[in-house]
Structure 1
Amino acid sequence: MLYKKLTLFSPRSLTYRYKVVAILILVLCWHTPQLHAQEAPADTAEIVVPVWPEDSLGRRTPRGTVQGFISAVADQNYNRAAHYLNMDTTLVSVRNGPVLAKSLQELMDRSGKLMPFSWMNNTYNGFAEDNLGPNLDRVGAISINAEEIDLMVERTEGPEGGPIWLFSSQTVQRIPLPVEENIKSTLVEKVSPEALEDNKWGGVPIGHWLSIVLLIIVAYLLAKGITALILLLIPKVWAKARQETTAGIIRAFALPVQLYLAIWLFVFASRYVGISIIVRMRLSEITVIVGLIAMLLLVWQLLDFLSRFFERRLALRGNQAGVSAVLFLRRGIKVALLVLGIILALDTFGFDVTAGLAALGIGGIALALGAQKTVENFVGSVTLIADQPIRVGDFCKVGSVSGTVEQIGMRSTRIRTADRTIVTIPNGEFSSQQIENFAPRDQFLLSSILRLRYSTTPDQIRYLLKEIRAALLAHEKIDSKQVRVRFTEFGQDSLNLEIYTYINAKDYNNYLEIKEELFLQIMDIIQASGTSISLPSQMLYLAKENDQSDDTGEKEV
């Protein structure tokens, strides 16, 4: 039997604050039921197409063989149970099939551990990747004379030519006869009254059923006590566990660990006291379901904790769009967890979920096509929240729209323009456009051309260049590394001086205030220099034309 190994991140890759997360995950997942996987054959010609009739005993697959055997011994029909054993001619001549079937049941009751039915292969070929050969599958283990051996089933050929899976001849050969002489009575048989052992229900003594109920209660209470003790001790031995963030993560692990520990204690105790394999196999699927619930519950509670954590952080920053996105994602992931849990539960109980998954896939495609714009806008909103090119209160320009961002929603973003109107832009379109955000800039450019009269002398220009440059450098809000005052050109009607620098201002109004102050200083400097600003001028040329008369006696105008 091939098990997929669960790969955990090394605790060394985590921060010191969250090492406890890795430790608790390791404890929870150490005995987690591991699902086996089969790879689809690359060559479709290798797929076995059943052309034979169904076996009346259901022995076409490893799972069917084990289920049939358990059902037969539960009915105490050991003649039928013997048909699930591979007894070659040597065994048939020296050993009795029904007696062997009963002995195998006794071994399973006392020391056996079978995989849950949902873990067993349910195909005609069995597992080909378990390194046991093409005709063998492992379904559990039994203990004989203090030695644990694998419980194997092997594929044989039936009368119709189809595969028949039976408990392997090697396993059957090792079954001791009679079992009662080799194995002592179980603990549950010793403590149960004779009346509870003689009366049976479902092929199992009533004492075993009562013991199962008692074990469930004891396992749950013991797991609850152990979990409470661990939660009490962790803050005492680890100081960081008293911090809110770490404590929240530990609390998220509490209930899943308690459930999983209860299941582990129950499974271990039921084998230890010798509960009948019939009862254990009937409850095996339930234990798998509870294990799955524990894992999904862990993800659920971690999701709740993390979403609340980020929700508080975003709320403190005033990012309401981020809060909305977190709430939406939390609901979506919870719905996905519920659907996943239902699918896994149905698969564990033996329902074919392939058709349902195909229907969900087709429905999901149809829904995605129908809600394409909605999905596009949602993805756009996630992009805006994650990338944060703008925030509420920022002044920005998107396409041809300029204004202040008032709201970033899950579907659209609202911008209030200078005309005090509201422009609503879908987030899908918003995130795909070029966005110019004026809010995060740390400096404002001051670039101006100073036009002087042509009567200005070179000495006056030198004076202006020196004094204006000194005034800019003296101002505390001017970036001194980027100050430029130069005589740049002879204009059409003026001598041009370029003023170029950056102003360190916190907002646009502050920039205008500093700019106004600097321009007034420059006007004072110009006045002190003895020159003035050039005024736009035009030259008009007047010419007197000779008056001439034409034949009609009229004058040209």
Structure 2
Amino acid sequence: MFIARHTTPSNRFRYIIVSWFTALLLCALPAATSAQEVTEQDTAVAAPAPAWPEDSLGRRTPQGTVTGFIRAVADQDYTKAAFYLNLATATDTIRDGAAVAQALQRMLDQRSKTIPRSWISNLPDGDLEDDLPPNLERVGTATVNDQQIDILLEKTEGPAGGPIWLVAAETISKVPWQQAAPTETVIEKTMPGFLEDNRLGGAPAGHWLGMLLIAIASYLLAWGITSGLIYLIGYIWRKTRDEPTLGFIRAFSLPIRLYLAALLLVYLSQRLGISFVLRQRFSELTIIVGLIAVLLLLWRLVDVLTQFSQRRLVERRNMAGISIVLFLRRGAKIALVVFGTIFILDTLGFDVTTGLAALGIGGIALALGAQKTVENFVGSVTLIADQPIRVGDFCKVGDTSGTVEQIGMRSTRLRTTERTIVTIPNGDFSSQKIENFAHRDRFLFNPTLRLRYDTTPPQIQAVLRSLRETLTAHPKIDKTSSRVRLTEITADALKVEVFSYILTNDFNEQLEIKEGLLLTMMDAVNTKGNGFALPVQQLLLHKDGEGVEEKK
């Protein structure tokens, strides 16, 4: 009921994924290629449909044979069940097909492991990628006289043509159908007679009650095992009492408990001899419980990781990172729900291949219609990963300057100096030139002083000496880069360039230092020299052909 299926489950999964991505690839091909393919397909000869009719017992596929046999034995119609056995090539000693079918049922009831019906191939040719010949299909194993045998189906040709799958003669030859006193199972030994006589859903009522008790016992046993392990780990490893280790332990506890309970339910139901008809009814359910346990584990791990990341980002005051973490958590949970639903439907026997192909085509159409949304999301991821800006930084993006207030999934908001809000899409934001003023470690101090023309060279030297002493004496000026030089003699002034760095990253502090330096330099120019040069303007007036020049 809960058996490794060799290559079939992986083949089904691979088939689903390959079909999905094949649909994506075909949709992405150029139009010319598609037109060429259509033309070639129009000229190709269509493959002929199978000429053989449907089998009245549904034996055209391995899954149909197993389903039909289970229904027949559930109705205790062993004469009909015999039609699902390959008695034609069996040994000559086998005469009574109904007796063989009943003996096969008892063998399956006693310590057998059968593949869930939804996992058995539903194709006329069977599963061609397993490790068996093309005409054989393994659907389970059973234990007979302490020896494990394979339960095989073999493909034969029907009277009207076409494949007919039957229980293989190799398996039938190993069925102990001539035992005088069949061995009783544990459930048969302990079950009252009236529960054996009353049947429900193709199995004795006592087996249903036993299955319920086994399920309860399995969960309680799994709860005890996991609780004991958690206590033992916490007693040995003290770190498990603190976060984030405690969160990981709690995330694993419930999923492991559910998965262990499903394994115990399968194992105990096989060992105690629960009817294989009933076990087949519960086979998909146990697989789904195991799948839910895995999905629940991933779900809880996503919560633990995001909570841990959120705490770290809050400590670092990275609000934009928190937005990305929350978005990724929602996306991961949606993906878990989608893929979980797909696998559950596949386990229940629904054909999800067509739906996945349609989902791939719809995903391409949605992506084409949401290019800007995807572009903005990629831009937000870039902003968070590269971190050219953070919330609270003063920056200039294009022609817009302001303080970053929020980095969202679609856009970033800036508060300008005019106290207005500018919203920039993250796709545009990440592609523009970003100048971040918040990360500079010092401020440039680079004024140009204009001295009067009548300032003598000794006075200029005195002014330069005083300005240099001002820079050297200030504790917040970088001494290695500071300089004061007479750089240019222009038509209206003598230019003195001051170059230095103010050692602070606080904007208000640098304004205060800059103000003090400028006042001290103004005093030096006025006391050591003749003051600052005033702008000069020349005005030429023409009157009666004579030019008069005035200066201001």
The answer to whether the 8 A contact 1:2-1:127 is kept is no
User: Does the 8 A contact of 1:2 with 1:36 survive in 2?
Assistant: no
| 3-state SS of paired residue (2:189) | helix
Q: 2:70, 2:541 → 1: CA distance?
A: 123
Q: Return the letter of the residue paired with 1:392.
A: V
CA-CA distance at 1:216 after TM superposition: 0.7
Q: Please report how far the alpha carbon of residue 138 of structure 1 lies from its aligned counterpart in structure 2 after TM superposition.
A: 2.0
Q: Spell out, residue by residue over 1:501-555, the C-alpha distance to the aligned partner (whole angstroms, 9 max, x if none).
A: 22222222222111222223333444554454333335678999998xxxxxxxx
Check whether the contact 1:199–1:205 (CA below 8 A) recurs between aligned residues. Answer: yes
> Helix, strand or coil for the counterpart of 2:244?
helix
Q: Which amino acid aligns with 2:190?
A: V
- Using CA pairs below 8 Å that are at least 6 residues apart, which structure has the higher relative contact order? 2
Please say if residues 3 and 35 of structure 1, whose CA atoms lie closer than 8 Å, have aligned partners that are also in contact: no
- Match of 1:141, SS state, is strand
Equivalences for residues 316-331 of structure 1 within 5 A: 316-331=315-330
| Structure 2 gap ranges (5+) | 23-43, 547-552
CA distance in 2, matches of 1:447, 1:461: 19
> Could you say which residue in structure 1 is the equivalent of 2:115?
115
Residue pair 1:472, 1:478 contacting (<8 A) in 2 also:
yes
Q: Which moved more, 1:48-57 or 1:103-112?
A: 48-57
Change in 2 beyond 3 A, CA 1:45/1:105: farther
Distance 1:436 1:45, change over 3 A: farther
More off after superposition, 63-72 vs 333-342: 333-342
Q: 1:55 is aligned with what amino acid?
A: D
How far 1:325 moved relative to its partner? 4.4
1:245 aligns with 2:244: yes
For 2:110, the aligned partner's letter is R
Q: TM-score, normalized by length of structure 1?
A: 0.82
Aligned-residue offset at 1:81: 2.1
Could you tell me whether the CA contact under 8 Å between 1:38 and 1:127 is conserved in 2? no
Matches within 5 A, 1:4-403: 36-37=12-13, 39=15, 50-89=50-89, 91-92=91-92, 94-179=94-179, 184-403=183-402
Alignment check: 8 A CA contact 2:202 2:278 kept: no
Compared CA separation, residues 540 and 432, structure 1 to 2 (3 A): closer
CA distance in 2, matches of 1:241, 1:196: 49
Q: What is the identity, as a one-letter code, of the residue corresponding to 1:112?
A: S
Contact 2:390 2:404 in 1 (8 A): yes
CA distance in 2, matches of 1:523, 1:155: 106
Where 2:110 maps in the other structure, the secondary structure is: helix
Q: In the alignment, does 2:423 pair up with 1:417?
A: no
1:436 aligns to what? 435
The one-letter code of the counterpart of 2:103 is: S
1:205–1:541 Cα change, 3 Å: closer
CA positional deviation for 1:369: 4.8
User: Cα 1:460–1:499, aligned 2, differ >3 Å: closer, same or farther?
Assistant: same
CA 1:207–1:45: 2 relative to 1, 3 Å? farther
* Structure 1 residues 138 and 53, CA gap change in structure 2 (3 angstroms): same
Between 1:399-408 and 1:538-547, the stretch displaced more is 538-547
* Secondary structure class of the residue paired with 1:345: helix
1:472 equivalent in structure 2: 471
1:141 CA displacement: 1.0
Amino acid at match of 1:304: D
Change (3 A) 1:516 1:100: same
TM-score (norm 2): 0.83
How high is the sequence identity, in percent, across the aligned residues? 56
Equivalent residue, structure 1, for 2:492: 493
Q: Is the 8 A contact 2:109 2:274 kept in 1?
A: yes
Q: Secondary structure at the match of 2:131?
A: coil
How far off its partner does 1:327 sit? 3.8
The CA deviation string for residues 58-96 of structure 1, in whole angstroms up to 9 with x for no partner, is 222222222222222222222322232234445256554
Mapped to 2, the partners of 1:48 and 1:155 lie a distance apart of: 21
Alpha-carbon distance in 1 for matches of 2:495, 2:95: 118
The separation in 2 between residues aligned to 1:395 and 1:185, in whole angstroms, is: 82
**Root-mean-square deviation over aligned CA pairs:** 3.4
Partner of 1:28: none
Distance 1:65 1:47, change over 3 A: farther
**SS across alignment from 2:404:** strand
Distance 1:481 1:52, change over 3 A: farther
On the 8 A contact 2:460/2:529 being kept in 1, the answer is: no
What residue identity is the alignment partner of 1:136? Answer: L
Judge conservation of contact 2:104–2:177 (CA < 8 Å) in 1.
no
**Residue correspondences, number:** 518
- Provide, for residues 448-506 of structure 1, a one-character-per-residue CA deviation record: whole Å limited to 9, x for no partner: 32333445555555555555445434433223343333443333333333322222222
1:14-43 deviation digits (Å, cap 9, x = unpaired): xxxxxxxxxxxxxxxxxxx8775455799x
Q: In 1, distance between residues paired with 2:379 and 2:332?
A: 19
Q: Secondary structure at the match of 1:91?
A: coil
Work out whether residues 90 and 173 of structure 2, in 8 Å CA contact, stay in contact via their aligned partners in 1.
Answer: no
In structure 2, C-alpha distance between the alignment counterparts of 1:473 and 1:87, rounded to whole Å: 109
Q: How has the CA–CA distance of structure 1 residues 539 and 94 changed in structure 2, closer, same or farther, with 3 Å as cutoff?
A: closer
What is the deviation of 1:211? 0.8
Is the 8 Å Cα contact of residues 2 and 130 (structure 1) preserved in structure 2? no
CA distance in 2 between counterparts of 1:55 and 1:146 reads 37
Instruction: Check conservation: 2:462, 2:529, Cα contact below 8 A.
Output: no
Q: 1:417 to 1:89 in 2, by over 3 A?
A: closer
Structure 1 residues 172 and 4: CA distance shift in structure 2, 3 A? closer
Using a 3 Å threshold, how does the CA distance of structure 1 residues 508 and 4 change in structure 2: closer, same or farther? farther
